[in-house]
Structure 1
Amino acid sequence: MATKTIPILTLEGARLALAGAEARAKEIGVPMNIAIVDSACHLLAFARMEGAKLTSINIAIDKAFTAAGHRAPTSVYKENVWPGGPAFGIWNSNGGRFTTIAGGVPIVEGGVVVGAIGCSTGMPSQDEDVALRGVEAFEKGGKGALKAKL
Structure 2
Amino acid sequence: MPFNILSVTLEEAMQGVNQIITNASKDGGNPVAVAVVNASGHLIAFQAMDHVVPASIKLAQSKAYSAVVGQKDTINWASFPKNEKTVDFDMRNWTDENFTGFTGGVVIMHNGQVIGGIGVSGRKGKKGDGDLMMQDNELAEYGRDSFFL
Scaled by the length of structure 1, what TM-score is found? Answer: 0.80
> Which whole-Å CA distance do the structure 2 matches of 1:96 and 1:77 have between them?
16
Using a 3 Å threshold, how does the CA distance of structure 1 residues 91 and 24 change in structure 2: closer, same or farther? farther
Match of 1:96 in 2: 97
Using a 3 Å threshold, how does the CA distance of structure 1 residues 6 and 87 change in structure 2: closer, same or farther? same
* Corresponding residue SS for 2:79: helix
> Which whole-Å CA distance do the structure 2 matches of 1:133 and 1:87 have between them?
33
* Corresponding residue SS for 1:79: coil
Counterpart amino acid of residue 102 in structure 1? T
**RMSD of equivalent CA atoms:** 2.4
Match of 1:28 in 2: 27
* Corresponding residue SS for 1:64: helix
What percentage of residue pairs aligned between the two structures are identical? 31
Match of 1:112 in 2: 113
Match of 1:137 in 2: 146
Structure 2's unaligned 5+ residue stretches are 127-134
Match of 1:145 in 2: none
Using a 3 Å threshold, how does the CA distance of structure 1 residues 21 and 86 change in structure 2: closer, same or farther? farther
**Residues 92-113 of structure 1: CA distance to partner in whole angstroms, max 9, x if unpaired?**
5243222111100001111111
Structure 1's unaligned 5+ residue stretches are 143-150
What number of residue pairs does the alignment pair up?
137
CA contact (8 A) 2:5 2:39 kept: no
> Which whole-Å CA distance do the structure 2 matches of 1:75 and 1:135 have between them?
15
Using a 3 Å threshold, how does the CA distance of structure 1 residues 9 and 87 change in structure 2: closer, same or farther? farther
The structure carrying a bigger strand percent of its residues is 1
- Displacement after TM superposition at 1:81 (Å): 9.3
Give yes or no for the alignment of 1:63 onto 2:63: yes
Higher RCO (Cα < 8 Å, 6 or more apart): 1
Scaled by the length of structure 2, what TM-score is found? Answer: 0.81
Match of 1:15 in 2: 14
**Residues 66-119 of structure 1: CA distance to partner in whole angstroms, max 9, x if unpaired?**
00111100010113499xx73642245243222111100001111111100000
> Which whole-Å CA distance do the structure 1 matches of 2:45 and 2:67 have between them?
15
